[in-house]
Chains A and B, each alone.
Chain A
Amino acid sequence: MASHAAAAPHTAGADAGHDDGHEHHHYTTTGLDNRKIAIWAFLGSECMLFASLISTYLIYKGKSLVGPFPHTEWVNEAGKRFEPILDIPVTSASTAVLLASSFAMVLALQAVQLKGKPIAATAGWWERIQRSSQFWLAATAFLGATFLGFQAYEFTSFVHEGLTIKTNLFGSTFFTLTGFHGAHVTVGVLWLMTLLWIDRTRGLGPKDELIVDICALYWHFVDVVWIVIFTLVYLIS
């Protein structure tokens, strides 16, 4: 029996596999693509990153010795009054924009999945637009960029009101936490624009579902993190 095992490489079953041109190096244990597993490992690590940033924010909450403060007004030694600095209505609007971008991302992925399936001649405008991965990728990137615009406006107005990254513990933790999130959104927008560029140059097909899917996972993750930040930093005083 040992000799049978040793001779096995030359059995007909293995030969047929080689000759049919099937790319056997793409065999994976789970059947999933490697990139799909790697992005989940990456997101697990990102959870710990934001958990550390958010914990620090919470540990330092209310510990600032000088203002401006997030939810309460402050009068400095010169008698100057500072209003609570967080503008919740404006940030609610930017949060809604970011949530909408996740919706657009879902539709972008769906559009890529639907590629190659025939569309009825009688299809209405919504069905046609549903098939346009370029439209939804552009929409997602645009909404993400709009969120960043809101953040740039927020940061500038805070600096004008006298809160910088050096002012107090609130300034240091707030700008670092939301800045880290903003950097993640920026990477996401660049990623979406790269996908859009690929779509415009060679066109995304059903085989490209995976690369859109992992971008979508990242994008939704960044969105979920913002919901946590928005709740803990803005809504709970």
Chain B
Amino acid sequence: MATIAAPTHAGHAEASSQNTGIWSWIATTDHKRIGTLYLWTALFFFLVGGLEAVLIRTQLMKPNMGFVSAETYNQLFTMHGTTMVFLAIMPLSAAFFNFLIPLQIGARDVAFPRLNAFSYWVYLLGGIFLTVPILFDVAPNGGWFGYAPLTTVQFSPGHNIDFWVIGLQVLGVSSLAAAFNFITTIINMRAPGMTLMRMPMFTWMSFVVQFLLVLAFPPITVALVFLLMDRFFGTTFYAIAAGADPLLWQHLFWVFGHPEVYILILPAFGLVSEVLPTFSKKPLFGYNVMVYSGIMIGFLGFGVWAHHMFAVGMGAVADSIFSMMTMLIAIPTGVKIFNWIATMWAGEVRFEVPMKFAIALIGMFTIGGISGVMHSSPPADLQQTDTYFIVAHFHYVLFGGSIMGIFAGIYHYYPKMTGRFMDTGLGNLHFWGNLIGMNLTFFPMHFSGLYGMPRRIYQYDSGQGWDLFNLMSTYGTYLIALSTLVFVWNFVRSRTRGAVAGNDPWGAGTLEWSIPSPPPEYNFAQLPEVTSRYPLWDLKDPSKTAGIAHSHADAMTITDAHAVPVHEETERFTAKELGIPMPLPTAKPLFTAVGLMTMFSGLLFLRNDLFAVAMTITIGGACMFIGGLYAWLTSPLE
């Protein structure tokens, strides 16, 4: 303990010199840095996907525009969907998983820090692999759900789909590795006293999401393996001429695809469940029910996939079952909405920027949720499917839900991540631009859809009643784009210019706010002993601190002797001074990730009859991958 009582501040300069420079990022195993890498990378891809949206909307601005060709348009809408789902929203959630979960449960890091770095590098490489082809006009062009047999060689002979199938396969590895890591972290790395039912709601929703990832990614992995085998090795999984079932892909894809919807939204639900109590100065209303409804959504999410397929003619029985299941899943979701409203009810509501985004999520997501219930009915769905009505629906839940929630999270946690606030004026400008822009973009799509405008057409004739709605949507998109630029400016500038934030700038109650901002590399100088859901609020409430000390004394006898009651940690030490062993920096996860990506990319050459080249690259990549894995597993972590 002498190390804590008499810290030597001379160590600071030495430690900080090791902690800067590009190498410190390449070799990092610190969950907070990996979270930061995820955040920056995912924001970059968010801008790429947004740019694609701007190009799409420019083409659709007026009837029969010739801004881009039909082929380019196919690539744009495919890559817009793929980028936003797999390269923007999922990794933005992953940024928060990385940064927040260990802090919220009182852990020093994730369970497997190097596996965590591996997940990030695989994501980065897979993202680059998927995105670069659009610069050469060979981007994937089969829609974000890539229906086979459309995506087999017979109908998509180019390399476009090859990039898609390999890229998604590689990204799946990243998501699965991360999911194993976070499941283990949440089950096994919680601080003493952090029972499951005391976990912050973001960690709870993330926990549910990890199970969805673990169970939903294998079916799409298998679907992609079949497609990959069909495209590269001539198998017959999707060959109708050989007797294949044209619905096989659709089933396998949507068994993944629907849980994926909840993978995209539940982290945002978790984030707003942190923001709303903080800015209402009230504990989350109905915590238990919020947990159960999250788990319920996770379970039911696996039983509704075929509502994406009502139009294929599965028969009355299947349609009825999936229709009922879909209506059922609206219940736990509605429960969450009402609990959020009840959290704000009679609270001391402060309309800070994160709070505005959180409230926007409640409103906008509800609109998307209600239109979702509308097409849970097969007869209604048959009218709406493949029209802009569907596009309107899922943008209200994804933009109005996931993106609004993630922005709430970014404004809320920026002070924790960087030690500085984002600018409030620019934040408000971004918020209103975003809110008005999204409604201007997506609300008219309900009408263009009901007037019969199909998805994915690159031109339309005038005189069908679609012109005005399309023009509105396009201007709305421009407004979103402009407000996003305001956000980027604010995000970059505030790192050095923002007002300095302390440990707990918003007066929040959970563990991550008890430590300095940005948190020291070891997170908690001592493992906190947790006695309630909002330990920091208890600390400030004299009537409750008696209870803490009491249960602390009890806990000392039965749990870990090193834990101390939750308190604000204000002094900064180095891990060395505190005697905390930290994971060593290593580039082996990056090396291994490069091996994995190389191994898969060799396949590209198979279809050009360059068998020797393909084999050389693939075997070389495999050797790198296996060698990297052995080097990594045989070297010590700390």
Contact = CB atoms under 8 A, between A and B. Distances in A.
Is B truly associated with A? yes
Interface of A: 1-2, 4-6, 8-11, 13-19, 22-25, 27-30, 32, 34, 37-38, 41-42, 44-46, 48-49, 51-53, 56, 59-60, 63-65, 165-166, 168-169, 171-173, 176, 194
Given A1-B549, A29-B188, A41-B180, A49 B218 contact: yes
Contacts of A16: 561
Contacts, number: 171
B218 A30 contact: no
Contact of B188 (A11, A22, A32, A169): A32
A144 to B, nearest CB: 18
Interface in B133-172: none
A89 B457 CA distance: 57
A52 B542 contact: no
A18 B564 CA distance: 12
A28 B189 contact: yes
15 contacts: A2-B545, A5-B566, A6-B568, A8-B549, A10-B1, A19-B1, A41-B179, A48-B217, A56-B222, A60-B243, A60-B244, A64-B243, A65-B243, A166-B236, A171-B236
B15 interface: no
Contact of A37 (B1, B108, B179, B183): B183
B560 A169 contact: no
Given A16-B561, A45-B218, A172-B237, 16 more contacts: A1-B546, A9-B525, A18-B579, A37-B187, A38-B180, A42-B180, A48-B215, A52-B221, A59-B245, A63-B244, A63-B245, A165-B234, A166-B235, A169-B243, A173-B237, A176-B226
A169 B244 contact: yes
A38 B562 contact: no
A14 B1 CA distance: 8
Contacts of A168: 236, 242-243
Given A63-B243, A64-B243, A24 B226 contact: no
Contacts of A14: 1, 526, 561-562, 564
B224 to A, nearest CB: 11
Nearest to A190: B626
Nearest to B567: A6
Given A30-B188, A172-B229, A8 B235 contact: no
A123 to B, nearest CB: 34
A159 to B, nearest CB: 14
Contacts of A2: 539, 542, 545
Interface string B214-243: 111111011101100100011111000011
B542 A1 contact: yes
Nearest to B542: A2
Interface of B: 1, 3-5, 108, 111-112, 176, 179-181, 183-184, 187-190, 192, 194, 214-219, 221-223, 225-226, 229, 233-237, 242-245, 248, 252, 255, 525-527, 539, 542, 545-546, 548-549, 552, 556, 560-562, 564-568, 579-581, 630, 638
B222 A53 contact: yes
A34 B115 CA distance: 13
Contact of B236 (A8, A42, A45, A172): A172
Contacts of A42: 180
Max count, chain A CB within 10 A of own CB: residue among B112, B237, B630: B237
A8 B5 contact: no
A54 to B, nearest CB: 10
A25 to B, nearest CB: 6
Nearest to B581: A25
A223 to B, nearest CB: 19
A23 B527 CA distance: 13
Contact of A4 (B5, B229, B549, B579): B549
Contacts of A19: 1
B562 A176 contact: no
A58 to B, nearest CB: 12
A84 B539 CA distance: 75
Given A28-B189, A29-B188, A65-B243, A8 B237 contact: no
B564 A52 contact: no
Given A5-B548, A19-B1, A165 B539 contact: no
Nearest to B522: A25
B234 A38 contact: no
B528 to A, nearest CB: 10
A48 B549 contact: no
B103 to A, nearest CB: 16
Contacts of A30: 187-188
A10 B180 CA distance: 36
A34 B111 contact: yes
A8 B579 CA distance: 18
Contacts of B539: 2, 5
B562 A29 contact: no
B146 to A, nearest CB: 16
A148 B150 CA distance: 36
Contacts of B1: 10, 14-15, 18-19
Nearest to B568: A6
B542 A59 contact: no
A49 B179 contact: no
A218 B228 CA distance: 26
A-B CB proximity, top 4 nearest? A48-B218, A52-B222, A15-B1, A49-B218
Given A2-B542, A24-B562, A56-B222, A29 B236 contact: no
A24 B560 CA distance: 9
A117 B183 CA distance: 36
B215 A34 contact: no
B233 A166 contact: yes
Contacts of A171: 235-236
B218 A46 contact: yes
A53 B581 CA distance: 43
Contacts of A65: 242-243
Most chain A Cβ neighbours within 10 Å, of B112, B217, B526: B526
